[in-house]
Structure 1
Amino acid sequence: MTSLNGSTVFITGANGGLGTELVKAALDRGARRVYATARSPKEWGDERVVPLLLDVADPDVVDRIARQTGDTTILINNAAIYPKGDLLTAPTEDITATLATNLLGPIHLARALAPALRSAKGALVNIGSVLSWFAVGKAHSVSKAGLWMATNAFRLELAPAGVQVLGVYAGPTDTPMQAGNDPAGMNQPSDVAAAIFDAVEAGDNELIVDELTTKVHTALSAPVTALYPALAQ
């Protein structure tokens, strides 16, 4: 388990709906410093928050930022993009950008900050999705499925050093990524952020946030038609 009190938390995608709530929740739980990273960083009006410019898809920038944030004790890979096109018809560059941001970026950042996490016996948190196990997200689902497996692999590699690795999986959450969709029934970002830090402080390996995600996860052991009934026709 990893305490938020006195911690240094590194959050990617900090300007987004969930990222903003993660920054707030970390401060509320006593974080000493929060590195709030984004492609367009903003001022937070709190001296404990250090805004940093970071595009997680750029390995050189990731390495540079990691050298500046060696006191990190909790890394939260939250940044993600969600193109809407199909795998067979979307521009190839959209698919490549999705994998670079949602999968390769978190891998590179975890590698770069692994020495800090090992030294602190801290925590790595990867924000997945119900779409880690459900293909309707197309390229986004592919990237999140990859992040799910990368999270499992990091857990095995970092466990001997006492580093907690938490995978987080949630259904639709009322954030800008869901703009245009009916927010009724969606998770609230503040609730998800609170659940994430509860899981960090409890030493959990995995957090499945809601009933929808639980149902999809459970269906993985069933025939593929359980998740995709149209295939049975």
Structure 2
Amino acid sequence: MPTLNGAVVLVTGANGGIGTHFVHQALARGAAKVYATARTPRPWDDERIVPLTLDVTDAASIAAAVTAAPDVTALINNAGAIPPSASLLDVTEEDLRANMETNFFGPVLLARAFAPILAAKPQSTLVDVHSVASWYAFGGIYSASKAAFWSATNSLRLELAPRGVHVTGVHVGYAETPMAAHAEGPKMRPAVLVTKVYDAVEADEHEVIADELTAQVKAALSGPVEALYPELRGTRAPLVSVEE
């Protein structure tokens, strides 16, 4: 069963609100070292935390991270981006592709790059942070990229399990971070979210449904699409009969 005690953890997006808690809580649970990665890493007041430059959209940056962190036993795919527009019809092609690079290709390629390292360590772990947007298309390309990432996590889980790597996928609604400052409604505290994630990892669980909203959306997936998206009802104009 995976454990954080003695683990060497690599956290992407470590400068953010959720990422910072992934770093600190890993140490609180006994991690020996944490690589705190970001495009522009910040200093940390703890010798157990190693700042590491990492751009998940850049192949050379990923390769450099693998070289710099060959002792990783737990990879936390936390980095993500939200496009300036939630409309697939209005977002620019550049932003469309950039969001897929950050939210899908980046974490998948990072997982592929670290897979041999993780597979060589006992009780190793991969954590992929998705979103309720994986199952609910309110975010345009953001939702599409998270849905693709969720699918990739399922594939990675099946491929890595025989190699001894445990994969945990995380689904959550809004958290109290600058990234979700624009959103209304209940928001989860990042510390609570990370506690749930690490509890799930150490309990050998494959999926984290972090809040009630996410649980409701997941349950609704088995119903008709109109139940999940009631705005679809009555959107088509009635046929007009023409009498000659």
Q: TM-score, normalised by structure 2?
A: 0.93
Name the CA distance, whole Å, in 1 between partners of 2:207 and 2:144.
19
Name the CA distance, whole Å, in 1 between partners of 2:25 and 2:71.
19
Which range moved further: 171-180 or 41-50?
171-180
Residue 135, structure 1, aligned to residue 137, structure 2: yes
Consecutive unaligned residues of structure 1, counting only runs of 5 or more, are none
Could you say which residue in structure 1 is the equivalent of 2:108? 107
Alignment-mate amino acid for residue 206 of structure 2: N
Could you say which residue in structure 2 is the equivalent of 1:44? 44
Question: Where does 1:216-231 land on structure 2 (aligned, <5 Å)?
Answer: 216-231=217-232
Could you say which residue in structure 1 is the equivalent of 2:171? 169
Q: CA deviation at 1:181?
A: 3.4
In the alignment, is the contact (CA less than 8 A) between 1:9 and 1:75 conserved in 2? yes
Name the CA distance, whole Å, in 2 between partners of 1:77 and 1:133.
19
Alignment-mate amino acid for residue 56 of structure 2: V
In the alignment, is the contact (CA less than 8 A) between 1:8 and 1:34 conserved in 2? yes
Question: Where does 1:142-181 land on structure 2 (aligned, <5 Å)?
Answer: 142-181=144-183
Name the CA distance, whole Å, in 2 between partners of 1:117 and 1:149.
20
Name the CA distance, whole Å, in 2 between partners of 1:227 and 1:84.
25
Q: CA deviation at 1:59?
A: 1.3
In the alignment, is the contact (CA less than 8 A) between 1:84 and 1:137 conserved in 2? no
Q: CA deviation at 1:84?
A: 3.5
Q: CA deviation at 1:180?
A: 3.4
Q: TM-score, normalised by structure 1?
A: 0.97
Name the CA distance, whole Å, in 1 between partners of 2:104 and 2:70.
22
Q: Deviation string for 1:42-71 (max 9, x for gaps)?
A: 011100000011111111111111121110
Could you say which residue in structure 1 is the equivalent of 2:17? 17
Structure with greater Cα Rg: 2
Alignment-mate amino acid for residue 225 of structure 2: V
Deviating 4+ runs (over 2 angstroms): none
In the alignment, is the contact (CA less than 8 A) between 2:174 and 2:183 conserved in 1? no
Could you say which residue in structure 2 is the equivalent of 1:206? 207
Name the CA distance, whole Å, in 1 between partners of 2:217 and 2:69.
37
Name the CA distance, whole Å, in 2 between partners of 1:185 and 1:78.
21
Alignment-mate amino acid for residue 95 of structure 1: L
Question: Where does 1:56-75 land on structure 2 (aligned, <5 Å)?
Answer: 56-75=56-75
In the alignment, is the contact (CA less than 8 A) between 1:84 and 1:138 conserved in 2? no
Could you say which residue in structure 2 is the equivalent of 1:54? 54
Could you say which residue in structure 1 is the equivalent of 2:97? 96
Q: Secondary structure at the match of 1:137?
A: coil
Q: CA deviation at 1:110?
A: 0.5
Which range moved further: 10-19 or 223-232?
223-232
What's the RMSD between the two structures over aligned residues? Answer: 0.9
Q: CA deviation at 1:179?
A: 1.7
